[in-house]
Structure 1
Amino acid sequence: MSDQFPNAGPGNGRRKPAAFVLDEDKVRFGPDDLGRPLKGEAVILPDLTEDDLAAGASTASLPAKRKKTGFGKWLAIGLGGLVSLSVGLAVDSLIRDLFTRTDWLGWTGVALAALAVCGLLGLIASELLSLRRVAKIDHLREALSDAASRNDTKAAQKSLGELTALYSGRPETAHGRQILAGHMREVIDGRDLVILAERDLLAPLDAQARALVMSSAKHVSLVTSVSPRALVDLLAVLYVNMRTIRQLSELYGGRPGTLGFLRLARHVATHLALTGGMAAGDSLASQVLGHGLAARLSARLGEGVINGLLTARIGIAAIAVCRPAPFLAGKGPKLSDFMGELVSRAEKQDKQG
């Protein structure tokens, strides 16, 4: 036990040692949650370890978090409410004017307004379902990765059951689902189950995804090598990359709507930022072009190859985001897998030109 004395004395801030009887009224046992000790009062606390002192020091050094004021949310809610009210008043005024002209025009306006409301509700429901599908893909990937890292058989079987249900309506996965069902009855190792699912169920989809990314990279490489305008190049690259992300998501079962696609695009951009993908792709392309390829190709064809490689890099990131399972048996597609075909295609174009 150790005595804790308040800073009440002169000099160094501590009072002189004093003797107390433990059953006196002036002796208090900690923790000292009743405020500071009074004059002539002592507090006895348990001995504190170095870990307790370090934890207390780190806790005391943390600044208090400030609550952020959501002025942007207020602005969005206010503007959204005003726009909704203006649209509602405009429709109401239009329908009243139609009724003043003739009844059948008014009822036609009411029917069209009801049809628009039904379409809006259906669009909202569709977007919510697409967001749910995209979130389910993310949940499956995280759950399978966690089950494989912990070698948890029950968790792996549960997540693989959800994965099988996700592809239950896909004829090209029927054989893989049948094989995986047999593995789930026989294999007792969680990590091995996830690897077998990757090999037997997702391998055909992975092959289609690689072919899709290669096709997009070739398309971008061709368009940017023959296009005379930089703006056309930019629009072509943007369109092809957006289409590639959507097609990859549909291939792996996401089927995103507008909001779901925006969420996917944000995830792809985040993945590229975390992995340094764009910088790595640009560096690798520059390195290859600097080791003799630039001497064999024209400037436009070399630029087309670089744009194709960057498109392939975005496609690789999209595969990692859209795929409902992590890459365990292998590291997934790499930029070098697409480079050889893009370069050989550019050299062939250069000879023909």
Structure 2
Amino acid sequence: MTDPKDRPRRPAAFRLDDAEIVTGGADTASRGDGRGTRVILESDDDAAVPAAPLPRKKRFRWGRLFWGTLSALVAMAIGLSLDALIRDLFARNDWLGWAGLALVGLLTVSALAILGRELAGIFRLERIDQLRVDAAAAVATDDAKSARTVVEGLVALYRDRPETARGRADVAVHLGEIIDGRDLLVLAESDLLLPLDRTARRLVADAAKKVSVVTAVSPRAVIDLLFVAVAVMGLIRKLADLYGGRPGLIGFIGLMRHVIAHLAVTGGMAATDSLLHDVVGHGIAARLSSRLGEGVINGLLTARVGLAAIDVCRPMPFINAERPGVQDVMRGVFPEAERKT
């Protein structure tokens, strides 16, 4: 006869808060006195989400204090010099004094406009950085409320961009229908950022190809260095404008520092070295002249800087979209080589 203990148990309804219910992992099946109902909870290790990134610590910066006080002293010195100049002009002739005063007024207005533009650019870059940090935290915790705040910030960031009108409309339709935070961010990434990502990849590929060609035919290393520097700065500027940063001069300098720091942290030459090994492995390097090889190396480095700039300028980390790599960007630079291999 079949042992009653080996018979499959008939389906039954019960409450988890019942006193006779024993809950736990798979190891609880071998424990207990056999009375009551044992419920074995499945492990959810595969669905575990990473911890939210730690916020950056804010600390006092002596360098910022130094440059701030120096700028204030220079501004005071300029003000005193202008005051002395206006007094001298009035002493010579009234109309010279009034003309100088009008020029000083125009100078002040233009300086305030430039300062306002610089501050606005800095605030935009900080806003994008904060959106990226909040998006990473929302993905890690799958927090719907935080994700909705990030999506609303993205929509507000691209409100004046006509090319994002359709994406903003699609996000607005589904904003109240999706309850999972990660899914909501994936939707926003697909509708708002993927078109910008395609443009950014094309910009990086074009810059890398231009650098490769120009540095391969230029006669002087100094010309190569200057052209690469100008091309890299122009590429970072274009990527920042594409993703909504639009920094001024001071903001652009800070953005350059951020890109270089990101490049150093992520290992700037890692992806480039792997691509170089692929190129050498296919025997392409043996058919390249030394100048053409230098142009290719410069193009690879330009592409790597461009990809780091995408990570810094993008207001959201890559969630479901595939992050472009150096090989993806540089495919167009070696079309003939790719067909041969």
Task: Please give the TM-score of this superposition, normalised by the length of structure 1.
Answer: 0.74
Counterpart pick for 1:180 among 171, 176, 180: 171
Partner residue, 1:313: 304
Q: Deviations over 1:278-324 (max 9, x none)?
A: x2144235423432122111111111111111101111010111011
Tell me which structure has the larger Cα radius of gyration: 1
Partner residue, 2:9: none
Matches of 1:155 and 1:73 in 2, distance apart?
32
Moved more, 99-108 or 179-188: 179-188
Partner residue, 1:25: none
Partner residue, 1:339: 330
Counterpart pick for 1:258 among 234, 238, 249: 249
The alpha-carbon distance between structure 1 residues 82 and 153, as it changes in their structure 2 partners (threshold 3 A), is: closer
After TM superposition, give the deviation of residue 82 of structure 1 in Å.
4.5
After TM superposition, give the deviation of residue 334 of structure 1 in Å.
0.4
After TM superposition, give the deviation of residue 264 of structure 1 in Å.
1.1
Q: Which amino acid aligns with 1:111?
A: A
Counterpart pick for 1:280 among 270, 273, 288: 270
After TM superposition, give the deviation of residue 329 of structure 1 in Å.
0.6
The alpha-carbon distance between structure 1 residues 98 and 267, as it changes in their structure 2 partners (threshold 3 A), is: same
Q: Which amino acid aligns with 2:165?
A: A
Matches of 2:149 and 2:140 in 1, distance apart?
15
Is this contact kept in 2: 1:289–1:302, CA < 8 A? Answer: no
1:88 and 2:47 matched: no
After TM superposition, give the deviation of residue 141 of structure 1 in Å.
0.9
Partner residue, 1:229: 220
Matches of 2:92 and 2:262 in 1, distance apart?
59
After TM superposition, give the deviation of residue 346 of structure 1 in Å.
8.1
After TM superposition, give the deviation of residue 151 of structure 1 in Å.
0.6
Q: Which amino acid aligns with 2:277?
A: Q
Counterpart pick for 2:150 among 155, 159, 165: 159
Partner residue, 1:198: 189
Which consecutive residues of structure 2, in runs of 5 or more, have no partner in the other structure? 1-58
Q: Which amino acid aligns with 1:212?
A: L
Matches of 2:61 and 2:271 in 1, distance apart?
40
Matches of 1:181 and 1:82 in 2, distance apart?
50
Q: Which amino acid aligns with 1:296?
A: R
> What secondary structure does 1:332 align onto?
coil
Counterpart pick for 2:287 among 263, 279, 296: 296
After TM superposition, give the deviation of residue 183 of structure 1 in Å.
2.1
Matches of 2:174 and 2:154 in 1, distance apart?
14
The alpha-carbon distance between structure 1 residues 73 and 304, as it changes in their structure 2 partners (threshold 3 A), is: closer
Matches within 5 A, 1:18-97: 76=67, 79-97=70-88
Q: Deviations over 1:15-36 (max 9, x none)?
A: xxxxxxxxxxxxxxxxxxxxxx
Matches of 1:325 and 1:69 in 2, distance apart?
27
Higher relative contact order (CA 8 A, sep 6+): 2
Partner residue, 1:327: 318
Is this contact kept in 1: 2:271–2:325, CA < 8 A? Answer: no
Which consecutive residues of structure 1, in runs of 5 or more, have no partner in the other structure? 1-66, 349-353
Is this contact kept in 2: 1:218–1:342, CA < 8 A? Answer: yes
Matches of 1:188 and 1:68 in 2, distance apart?
40
Partner residue, 1:14: none
Task: Please give the TM-score of this superposition, normalised by the length of structure 2.
Answer: 0.77
Matches within 5 A, 1:113-192: 113-192=104-183
Matches of 1:159 and 1:103 in 2, distance apart?
59
Is this contact kept in 2: 1:154–1:190, CA < 8 A? Answer: yes
